[in-house]
Amino acid sequence: MNKKTLIRLQIPFAFVIVFFLRTILRLFIRIRFTVINESRMGLLTGGTYQAMLDSLEWSRNHYRNDLVIYFFRNKKSSNKFMSELLQRELFTITGNFGEALFFAARKVPGMSFFDPTDVDDYLGLYKKYSIPPKFREAELKAGFNYLDSVISGPDKKFVCLLVRDSAYMNEISPNRDNSYTDYRDSDIGSYIKAADALADLGYTVFRMGAQVEKKLASKHPKVIDYATNGMRSEFLDVFLCAHCSFILTTGTGLDEVSRMFQRPVSYVNIIPVSGVNQCEALVYPKIICDRETNLPLTLRQIAERDLQFAYFQDLYDAANVFVRDMTEDEILSFALESVSRLERSWTPTYQYLELEEKRINLYNSITKLRFHPTIVRDPDTIFASCFYENYPNFLD
């Protein structure tokens, strides 16, 4: 008996359940259905966790339970361990009966659905709540045993280094032209100096990535090219990002794990400039330059050219600009500032605090820069001091 036949046989029973939900249970609680997009790590992790936080916030504000029924199709999960971890915490439906129940719910008038692909924390719920899924004892033991096997000594502090390139997109979508996001990629070679410096400070550095173009050519014994050395697993991807001292990332899906588990996040070579406003993180963005003058755009000019949330290469081409990566020395300075802030040895200057206040005022006064058009809230991001040192005119 094939899959479609099995689903059809279960649809009548599914309609009975949906009818009960709609006519009886909905009198006492809010009921909603959603399908989880498991194909991309950012959507699987960030989208699902944001939906969990939104549901909790609604329940507390309305003094009423909010039952969200999460449908996991489990077809091509970007990380099966993360899918399993989330399903332990949620009211989920899967398999053929899940298909039947979701089909029935779609056919019954009055049932509520939403799309959990929005990872933007408009209301600041990441800071308000902390409800990440829990590892089992056996999983924690396996993860810490791995750390013991690769990090000698009692100090297990480590950094996850996550640098985006085109390998992953080309792997999951081989028949599609993925060059529209090439401007977000970085050369892993430009991170060697920063990785070695972090290692010299006693941090073990794990270069992360499910698919990568090149190896990380560091000779430092505490820099581990975990993405290519044969150690990588979907479980360790999640465990490492959930337990790192901080993550140094160019902004790709796996870093949502660190956000979910409230690990410090440092966005390096990140673009678009306003794309991470809603994240509590340290930021040093890529530089957008005018093609005619070769000069970096100011924050106002970025907004004037509608590039603050530009996620496609053709938008930069149309605006007659090009995107410039950070130099290896800029990456090094940013990594060291990240550590200084983490270890509380960094002291802000009065000039820096004034610049940050000016940036926040710009975000609140220029509607285009806001991450939500009707919600006025200070951005959670903090721009690095070393960024302002290199680009003092950014806020002009």
C-alpha span between 64 and 75 (Å, rounded): 33
- The architecture CATH gives domain 138-390: 3-Layer(aba) Sandwich (3.40)
Cis peptide bond upstream of 392, omega within 30:
no
Residue 280, pLDDT > 90, answer no
Residue 154: pLDDT band (50, 70, 90) is confident
Radius of gyration of the chain (CA): 23
Residue 177, pLDDT > 70, answer no
Mean pLDDT score of the chain, rounded to an integer?
91
Per-residue pLDDT, 379: 78
Distance of CA 379 to the CA centre of its chain: 16
Neighbours of 340 (CB within 10 A): 14
Cα torsion 80, 82, 88, 92 to 10°: value is -70
Kindly give the pairing relationship between strand 282-285 and strand 265-270.
parallel
C-alpha span between 32 and 28 (Å, rounded): 13
Per-residue pLDDT, 178: 60
C-alpha span between 18 and 30 (Å, rounded): 13
Interval 27-62: pLDDT, tens: 899 999 999 989 889 999 999 999 999 999 999 999
C-alpha span between 48 and 91 (Å, rounded): 12
C-alpha span between 163 and 33 (Å, rounded): 34
Per-residue pLDDT, 367: 85
Residues 6 or more apart whose CB falls under 8 angstroms from that of 317 comprise: none
Which amino acid is present at 41? Answer: M
C-alpha span between 204 and 150 (Å, rounded): 9
Q: What is 102-146 written as a DSSP string?
A: HHHHHHSTT-EE--TT----TT-HHHH---PPPPPHHHHHHHHHH
Residue 168, pLDDT > 70, answer no
> What are the residue boundaries of the structural domains of the chain, listed by start?
3-119, 138-390
Please tell me whether residue 94 adopts helix, strand or coil conformation: strand
Q: How big is the chain, counted in residues? A: 396
Task: Report which of residues 177 and 359 the model is more confident about.
Answer: 359
Mean pLDDT value of segment 319-335: 97
Please tell me whether residue 24 adopts helix, strand or coil conformation: coil
Q: What are phi and psi of 146, to 5 degrees?
A: -65, -45
Report the largest interatomic distance among the alpha carbons of the chain, rounded to a whole angstrom. Answer: 72
Q: Is the separation of the CB atoms in 225 and 215 below 8 Å?
A: yes
Residue 233, pLDDT > 80, answer yes
Per-residue pLDDT, 247: 98
pTM of the shown model: 0.93
Q: What percent of the chain has pLDDT over 70?
A: 95
Strand partners, 394: none
Residue 197: pLDDT band (50, 70, 90) is very high
Scanning the chain, the segments in alpha helix (DSSP H) are: 3-23, 41-42, 48-62, 80-89, 95-107, 125-128, 137-150, 167-172, 192-200, 234-243, 255-260, 299-304, 313-318, 328-342, 350-365, 385-390
Per-residue pLDDT, 24: 86
End-to-end CA distance of the chain: 68
Instruction: Please enumerate, as own/partner, the contacts of 351-356 that have beta carbons within 8 Å and a separation of 24 or more.
Output: 352/385, 352/388, 355/383, 355/388, 355/395, 356/382, 356/383
- Number of helices and strands (H, E) in the chain? 16, 13
Mean pLDDT value of segment 205-209: 97
- Nearest-CA neighbor of 40 among 273, 214, 187, 211? 211
Please tell me whether residue 181 adopts helix, strand or coil conformation: helix
Please tell me whether residue 148 adopts helix, strand or coil conformation: helix
CA angle 167, 172, 174 (to 5 degrees): 80
Mean pLDDT value of segment 127-145: 95
Interval 90-129: pLDDT, tens: 999 998 888 999 999 999 888 898 888 777 788 889 989 9
